[in-house]
C-alpha cells in the first residue's frame, strides 16, 4: 500500500501510477538499474507498482580497477534487485568470451526490448518505461537508448504495448561533459536512499572507493539533485513521453 513520505494518507505512486501498474526498466549492464534510477525503483515498488528490469548484457572483460566476471555480476544483480524489491529481473545476453558487440545488433536489441519472454514490453505491458538517456557517452548505453526509444514508438491499440510514460535516466559517468539534456522530472528518493545504498553495495565488483563509482559520490549527486527542490535526495529524468490516457 502506498504511504505518503510525510506520514499522511496514501496517494498515487510516482508519475501518477497506481498500485498494480507495471514499470519496465531497461538497463545496458548490471548496476545501471541501480546507479541511475535505483531510488525511484525502490519507491515505485513500495508504492505498489510492479517493477521489471531487463538487463541487456553482462560480459567477461577487463576493467579499470577490476574484472567483469559474468557469474559474479549475475549474483550481484540478483542481490541488488532484491534490495530494490524488483518484481522480476532478467539478463538477456551473457557473454562469457567478451566478444559480443551489442552496438552492431540494433535489430536484435529492439526485438529484445519489445519481446523478451521475461521482461519486455510484450511480457509486462508497462505504463512506464525507464531507459538510459540519450546524452550518455558509453557506446552500449547509446545503443540501448536507441533500441528502447524505437521499441517505445506509438502503435495502434492492440498491435503492441506502448508505454504512456517514457523517461531517461543518467549513467554514473555521464556528467563530465558540458553536453546536457533537459532533466525536468525529479523524484524525491530521500526515504529510499537506504535501499539504493544496499543495492549499490551488492555490486562489490563495480563500486570503487572514490570517484564517480563510489557510493559516497553517487549519494552526493542525489543530494545535490534534491537540494534545489528541498528534498534530501532526488533522482532526475529526461521526459521523452508523458501521456495520460483517460480512464
pLDDT of residue 69: 82
- Predicted local confidence at residue 78, as pLDDT: 97
Instruction: Indicate the DSSP class of residue 212.
Output: T
Q: Which three cell numbers, joined as nine digits, stand for 127?
A: 505504463
Angstrom distance (rounded) from CA 34 to CA 52: 13
Q: What is the pLDDT of residue 176?
A: 62
**Cα gap 152→210, rounded to integer Å:** 36
Residue 4 resides in a domain: no
Asked if residue 116 belongs to a domain, the reply is yes
The pTM assigned to this predicted structure is 0.92
Q: Which of 41, 32, 56 is nearest to 203 (CA)?
A: 32
Strands 165-169 and 66-68: unpaired
Given a cut of 50, the residues of the chain with pLDDT beneath it are 1-9
- Check residue 115 and give its pLDDT: 96
CATH number of the domain where residue 171 is located: 3.40.50.10320
The DSSP letter of residue 131 is: E
The residue range of the domain holding 88 is 18-242
Q: What is the pLDDT of residue 1?
A: 38
Phi, psi of 62 (to 5 degrees): -80, 140
What's the domain count of the chain? 1
Residue 5 lies in a domain: no
Which one-letter DSSP state was computed for residue 245? -
216: in domain: yes
Question: SS3 of 219, please?
Answer: helix
Q: List, for residues 212-240, the tens digit of each pLDDT value.
A: 899 999 999 999 999 989 999 999 999 99
Amino acid at each position: 500500500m502506498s504511504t505518503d513520505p510525510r506520514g499522511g494518507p496514501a496517494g498515487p505512486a510516482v508519475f501518477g501510477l497506481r498500485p498494480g501498474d507495471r514499470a519496465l526498466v531497461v538497463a545496458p549492464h548490471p548496476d545501471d538499474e541501480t546507479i541511475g534510477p535505483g531510488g525511484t525503483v525502490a519507491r515505485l515498488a513500495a508504492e505498489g507498482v510492479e517493477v521489471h528490469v531487463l538487463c541487456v548484457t553482462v560480459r567477461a572483460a577487463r576493467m579499470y580497477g577490476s574484472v567483469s566476471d559474468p557469474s559474479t555480476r549475475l549474483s550481484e544483480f540478483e542481490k541488488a534487485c532484491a534490495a530494490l524489491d524488483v518484481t522480476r529481473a532478467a539478463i538477456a545476453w551473457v557473454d562469457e568470451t567478451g566478444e559480443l558487440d551489442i552496438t552492431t545488433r540494433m535489430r536484435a536489441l529492439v526485438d529484445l526490448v519489445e519481446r523478451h519472454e521475461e521482461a519486455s514490453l510484450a511480457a509486462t505491458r508497462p505504463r512506464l518505461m525507464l531507459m538510459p538517456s540519450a546524452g550518455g557517452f558509453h557506446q552500449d548505453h547509446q545503443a540501448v537508448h536507441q533500441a528502447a526509444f524505437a521499441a517505445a514508438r506509438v502503435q495502434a491499440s492492440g498491435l503492441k504495448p506502448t508505454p504512456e510514460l517514457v523517461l531517461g535516466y543518467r549513467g554514473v559517468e555521464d556528467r563530465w561533459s558540458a553536453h546536457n539534456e533537459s532533466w525536468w522530472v525529479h523524484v524525491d528518493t530521500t526515504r529510499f536512499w537506504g535501499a539504493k545504498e544496499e543495492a549499490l553495495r551488492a555490486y562489490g565488483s563495480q563500486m570503487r572507493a572514490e570517484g564517480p563509482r563510489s557510493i559516497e559520490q553517487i549519494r552526493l549527486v542525489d543530494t545535490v539533485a534534491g537540494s534545489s527542490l528541498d528534498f534530501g535526495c532526488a533522482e532526475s529524468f529526461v521526459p521523452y513521453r508523458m501521456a495520460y490516457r483517460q480512464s
